[in-house]
Amino acid sequence: MDALLIEFNVSTGKRAGNININDPKLQCYGWQDLESIPAREVRVIEDERDISQFEGIAGVTVLKGKAKIKAAISNICKPRYKIVSEVLFSEHVKQKGIRLSDYEGKDEREILKDLLENKKIIGIRKSLPREPVEEK
């Protein structure tokens, strides 16, 4: 299993090395960091193409093996936090006496992370990126 770590411009969609995002055998599965500049994504190579064609291209890193792919995904894809039950969330915040105004001006992801992991507030879900699966 091999993949590419590709830098790209969010505004234009242009990928390093002019990699075609419509290539059906280069799949991303949502592994993107749209906040970094340049943005980055991991695309799994799902055919037997010669990967040496991607080596040495600025902004493209060849990832050989599942361990390197997983490491790159973990590096660029941060956990996501989402309120899945507004009622449970609101009641638990109220019961614990937490003032959400204390978080004013902070990033929503960091607020939800703190509330879930440190304050143990219910009604929040943490999602991790999907792991790469080898084709059989």
DSSP character for 101? G
For 13, phi and psi rounded to 5 degrees?
Answer: 80, 0
pTM exceeds 0.75 for this model: no
Q: How far is CA 65 from CA 31, 114, 122, 130, 133, in A?
A: 16, 34, 37, 16, 11
Signed CA dihedral, 56, 59, 60, 65: sign only: positive
Q: What is the CA radius of gyration of the chain?
A: 19
Each residue's pLDDT tens digit, 23-80: 999 999 889 998 899 999 999 999 999 999 999 999 999 999 999 999 999 899 888 8
